[in-house]
A and B are shown apart, each in its own frame.
Chain A
Amino acid sequence: MLPLSAYVAVSAILFVIGLLGVLIRRNFIIVLMSVEIMLNAANINLVAFSHYLESMAGQLVALFIIAIAAGEAAIGLAIIIVVFRGKLSTNVDEMNLLKW
């Protein structure tokens, strides 16, 4: 049986990759995809702990996270469409209307 730390290490690597994607990419859609990578990393973590600590709570929270990721994708992509309609661009550097 694999140690729990193997799953946690994979999840940490995936989370860091997703965080890097949020920080360094300039396309808003890819930034949202990187957020999905981070949510998946959290899901691996929750399910691994749920299995090794013999409790169902982790799997239920992972299920709720998937539902929330669906809502986040819907709202984020709607915002992208609205911004694209005004600017014809999805570059995050050009979205500075609320910056002062």
Chain B
Amino acid sequence: MIAVFFSYFALMSIAAAVMTVALKNPVHCGLALLALLLHVSGFFVLLNAEFLWAVQVIVYAGAILVLYLFVLMLLNLKTDERYFHSTYLYFLTPAVLGSLYVIYLLLHSPFAGAKGDAPAVAVLQDGDTAAIGIKMFSDYLLQFEIVGVFLLGAIIGAIVLAKTPKPLNLRKD
């Protein structure tokens, strides 16, 4: 059952990513990105990360994507006739070959490593949200505060950047 869901999410997210990159109209690209984000959140459910699933749907699909669509509508872009770089074929072939090689390497790697202290049974006992909360407010408190300050700086920076500039008040004398 997990394999069926995994292949559905994998196929749909890859197709949505290709559409995001390849479609012509920017609004269609935004909607394809929405499909990608929702299918990526499906992976998080398969991996027992329900809290990240909720955050992905609320923050990514709900907030960030709406910001993108808002700016797209605000700017009212006309679609370019030539929307790829003229040299894109030089990138395409090496990218396909290189990714095939990387996937070949990845599928043959064992990925063994030291196990941590949060096996799936222990996490499922209190739920993923409780496990993340306990970890975040004990071991990762400093990082949490840093991200908070970062978001404050990003908000202030975005407001300062996008403010309408005042007309220059040149003195006559």
A residues adjacent to B (C-beta < 8 A): 1-2, 4-10, 12-14, 16-21, 23-27, 29-30, 32-34, 36-37, 40, 43-44, 47-57, 59-60, 62-64, 66-75, 77-82, 84, 90-91, 93
Q: Which of B63, B117, B135 contacts A60 (CB 8 A)?
A: B135
Residue from A5, A16, A17, A68 with most neighbouring chain B CB atoms (10 Å): A17
CA distance A40 to B56 in the complex (A): 10
Instruction: State how many residues of chain B have any CB contact under 8 Å with chain A.
Output: 82
Q: Which of B21, B26, B29 has the most C-beta atoms of chain A within 10 angstroms of its own C-beta?
A: B21
With A and B bound together, what is the CA distance between A70 and B88 in angstroms?
Answer: 29
**Which of chain A's residues have a CB closer than 8 A to the CB of B154?**
70-72, 74-75
Contact A82 B64 (CB under 8 A): no
- Interface secondary structure of A, over-half rule: helix
Interface residues of B (CB under 8 A from A): 2-3, 6, 10, 13-14, 17-18, 20-21, 26, 29-30, 33, 36-37, 40, 43-44, 47-49, 51-52, 55-56, 59-60, 63-64, 67-68, 71-72, 74-75, 77, 80, 82-85, 88, 91-92, 95, 98-99, 102-103, 106-109, 111, 113-120, 123, 128, 131-132, 135-136, 140, 143, 147, 150-151, 153-155, 157-159, 161-162
A90 near B114 with CB under 8 A, answer: no
CA distance A25 to B74 in the complex (A): 20
Instruction: Let me know if A33 and B68 touch, CB within 8 A.
Output: yes
Find A27's partner among B3, B26, B120 (CB 8 Å cutoff).
Answer: B26
Q: Interface on chain B toward A: helix, strand, loop, or mixed SS?
A: helix
A-B contact count (CB 8 A): 228
Nearest chain B CB to A82 CB, angstrom units:
6
Q: In the assembled complex, which residues on chain B have CB atoms less than 8 Å from the CB atom of A74?
A: 67, 154-155, 157-158
Closest Cβ–Cβ distance, residue B88 to chain A (whole Å): 4
- Which of chain A's residues have a CB closer than 8 A to the CB of B51? 59, 63
Contact, CB under 8 Å: A64 / B84: no
A71 x B68 contact (CB < 8 A): no
Residue of A nearest to B107 (CB): A5
The answer to whether B99 touches A16 (Cβ under 8 A) is: yes
The 21 sampled A-B contact pairs (Cβ below 8 Å) are A2-B6, A8-B111, A9-B107, A13-B17, A17-B20, A21-B21, A23-B88, A25-B84, A27-B26, A27-B77, A34-B21, A36-B60, A47-B44, A62-B52, A63-B55, A63-B136, A64-B143, A68-B147, A78-B162, A81-B74, A81-B161
